[in-house]
Amino acid sequence: MIHVPAEPQGAFPDAWRYCVGTGRLDLALRHDYQESLRLLQRDIGFRYLRGHGLFSDGMGIHRPYEWQGARHVHHSFTYADQVIDALLDAGIRPFLELGFMPSGLASGDLTVFWWRGNVTPPADSKEWAALVRATLTHLIDRYGVDEVRTWPIEVWNEPNLPMFWLDTDEAAYHRLYEITAHTVKEVDAGLQVGGPAISPGADEWLTGFAEFAERRKPPVDFVSRHAYASGPAQHVPFGSHQTLAPAGDLLDQFAAPRRVLKDTSLAGLPVHITEFNSSYCPDNLIHDTALNAAYLAPVVTGGHAHADSFSYWTFSDVFEEAGVPTAFFHGGFGLLTHRQVRKPTYHLYAFLARSGEELLARGDDHLVTRHRDGRVAVLAWAPVDASGETPGPDGHTLRLSVPVAGAEAFVRRSSVDEERGNAYTAWRHMGSPRSPRPAQLDMLYDAAEPARSHARVPVTGGRAELTLTLARHEVTLVELTPVEDETPPWWDERRLLGGNPAP
């Protein structure tokens, strides 16, 4: 029996909602993307959105041309404005990532992804600085300095990986960082800039970044790192399989920046985990499963202890790093599929978005919070065997004693698991249609709806007792609301079919 205290431990931080990831920014021009964002913000409500490719050719900002015999550069914001307008209109702000390199400014031909983001250093540092300056100046002109100061600005992405930064040249990254950070502050000293946005397994780059910061004193307002828990990809056509570390490994990764930097000049800065997920592959079906939701539940409910934010990579399968997906469920990172079918991990977040402001209890398989109006939210999840050696328990049981006001509580339970609230499983039952017909799609929307049950339970001594039995990989939200009974005194259920009232 988990005895949930009536007094809160404190506020429940919403680091979990600070940021979410997206594929390259110009995908925000898509209808499906915008609809997905609108749904996401209605149900969950993230604050920032971070994606690649602000300076890539698809956004068309850096535009060199010849005129009267000389080279000039236009900075053009046709798409940038459309993208950011769309974000703000959907109620989410950009977490700016400065990169990749426009081809007209690149020093080489190396590109990443199907959509060919150039990942070489600038051919001309001044022109890079001019690009950064023009972009930020334009954004301030259009959106106002007060607004833009709230948008964190990160320099590049995963420079420690050869696919993202030519030769993983650390010194070159530091030079890029330095010129960029100074340019940002020249535009407006109130803007926030940070890095080094490294991938897992390269924490020596954090040390290097701290040494560089010590030595060169560039502006640094925050430190960023990514976190993934999967092993090397085993490829099949249009897909990958990977082993998975236990979820605690992700929390360790979240904690790495503070741990590594604690005796450096960067200690105490905000730490943003600007990407995380179970697997780092955009074609691993794990992302579509209830297992993923149950696996990440302890991470998203506990991450605030280790970092200021952790940004799920990504909110939507509208994402083209590995090309156009060949099947509806294809292992994309998205919380939402193309056409906005909600995956189990979407529901994990949507459940979390119904948490209260006060933290009452937290454990290996549960999080209990309370709203100011007295509603108590119990989020619980089944344990996951990340090794795959066992399927994970079917029938994990929690017993809780929950403090709640009044004489009775209205209890609503919402669940997703391997079968319920699980469009992926329904799609498998359908025969895995690669491009579902409209009628199939309608059924997938329905199938994604969490299973709900409702009850009224007695409250004794200010407490309700709950026994929750969880199916395999279930994530469940139990909401308890004190009942104010307005049933009129003349109500008598036995009279529904005209029977005589009780004497």
Q: Measured between alpha carbons, how far is 102 from 54 in angstroms, rounded to an integer?
A: 9
Question: Residue count at the site for a copy of itself (CB under 8 A)?
Answer: 98
486 lies in the site for a copy of itself, by CB under 8 A: yes
Q: Is 489 helix (H, G, I), strand (E, B) or coil?
A: coil
Nearer to a copy of itself among residue 175 and residue 354 (C-beta): 354
428 lies in the site for a copy of itself, by CB under 8 A: yes
Measured from the CB of residue 62, what is the shortest distance to a copy of itself in angstroms?
11
Closest CA to 466 of 369, 365, 398, 377: 398
State the greatest distance between any 2 C-alpha atoms of the chain, in Å, as a whole number: 103
Nearer to a copy of itself among residue 4 and residue 285 (C-beta): 285
Token pair of 205 as six digits: 């780059």
Q: Measured between alpha carbons, how far is 463 from 409 in angstroms, rounded to an integer?
A: 9
Measured from the CB of residue 246, what is the shortest distance to a copy of itself in angstroms?
12
Measured CA to CA in angstroms, residue 347 lies from 31, 81, 437 at distances of 22, 31, 24
Q: Which of residues 145-164 bind a copy of itself (CB under 8 A)?
A: none
Considering only the stretches 9-17, 123-131, 305-313, 494-502, report the one whose residues sit in contact with a copy of itself under the rule CB under 8 A.
Answer: 494-502
Overall residue count recorded for the chain in this entry: 503
| Contact letters for a copy of itself, residues 250-289 (x by CB under 8 A) | -----------------------------------xx--x
Considering only the stretches 1-9, 172-180, 304-312, 385-393, report the one whose residues sit in contact with a copy of itself under the rule CB under 8 A.
Answer: 385-393
Q: Measured between alpha carbons, how far is 172 from 23 in angstroms, rounded to an integer?
A: 25
Identity of the amino acid at 347: H
Q: Which of residues 178-237 bind a copy of itself (CB under 8 A)?
A: 230-231, 234, 236-237
Element spanning 174, H or E: helix 170-187
Give the per-residue SS3 of 435-501: CCCHHHHHHHHHHCCCEEEEEEEECECCEEEEEEEECCCCEEEEEEEECCCCCCCCCCHHHCCCCCC
Q: Which of residues 286-305 bind a copy of itself (CB under 8 A)?
A: 286, 289, 291
172 lies in the site for a copy of itself, by CB under 8 A: no
Q: Which of residues 302-341 bind a copy of itself (CB under 8 A)?
A: 323-328, 338-339
462-490 core/surface letters (b: 16 or more CB in 10 A; e: else): ebbebebebbbbbbbbbbbbbbeeeeeee
Closest CA to 147 of 98, 97, 100, 87: 87
Identity of the amino acid at 263: D
Instruction: Give the number of other CB atoms < 10 A from CB of residue 262.
Output: 10
Measured from the CB of residue 422, what is the shortest distance to a copy of itself in angstroms?
8
Measured from the CB of residue 121, what is the shortest distance to a copy of itself in angstroms?
23
Radius of gyration of the chain (CA): 25
Considering only the stretches 127-135, 248-256, 342-350, 493-501, report the one whose residues sit in contact with a copy of itself under the rule CB under 8 A.
Answer: 493-501
Q: Which of residues 442-461 bind a copy of itself (CB under 8 A)?
A: 443, 446-447, 449, 451-456
Measured from the CB of residue 205, what is the shortest distance to a copy of itself in angstroms?
27
Nearer to a copy of itself among residue 242 and residue 264 (C-beta): 242
Identified catalytic residue from 97, 178, 275, 418: 275
437 lies in the site for a copy of itself, by CB under 8 A: yes
Q: Which of residues 349-368 bind a copy of itself (CB under 8 A)?
A: none
Measured from the CB of residue 164, what is the shortest distance to a copy of itself in angstroms?
22
Q: Which of residues 37-96 bind a copy of itself (CB under 8 A)?
A: 57-60, 63, 65-67, 72, 74, 76-82, 85-86
129 lies in the site for a copy of itself, by CB under 8 A: no
Nearer to a copy of itself among residue 221 and residue 419 (C-beta): 419
Measured from the CB of residue 326, what is the shortest distance to a copy of itself in angstroms?
4
Out of 387, 397, 460, 469, the residue judged to bind a copy of itself by CB under 8 A: 387
Measured from the CB of residue 289, what is the shortest distance to a copy of itself in angstroms?
7
Closest CA to 164 of 112, 128, 204, 233: 112
Instruction: Give the number of other CB atoms < 10 A from CB of residue 8.
Output: 16
Element spanning 41, H or E: helix 31-43
Considering only the stretches 150-158, 198-206, 299-307, 419-427, report the one whose residues sit in contact with a copy of itself under the rule CB under 8 A.
Answer: 419-427
Residue 158 bears catalytic tag: yes
Identity of the amino acid at 189: A
Nearer to a copy of itself among residue 263 and residue 491 (C-beta): 491
Closest CA to 16 of 304, 305, 363, 274: 304
Q: Which residues pair with 272 in a beta bridge?
A: 224, 309
101 lies in the site for a copy of itself, by CB under 8 A: no
333: left (phi over 0), alpha (psi -120 to 50) or beta: alpha
User: Which residue numbers are catalytic?
Assistant: 158, 275
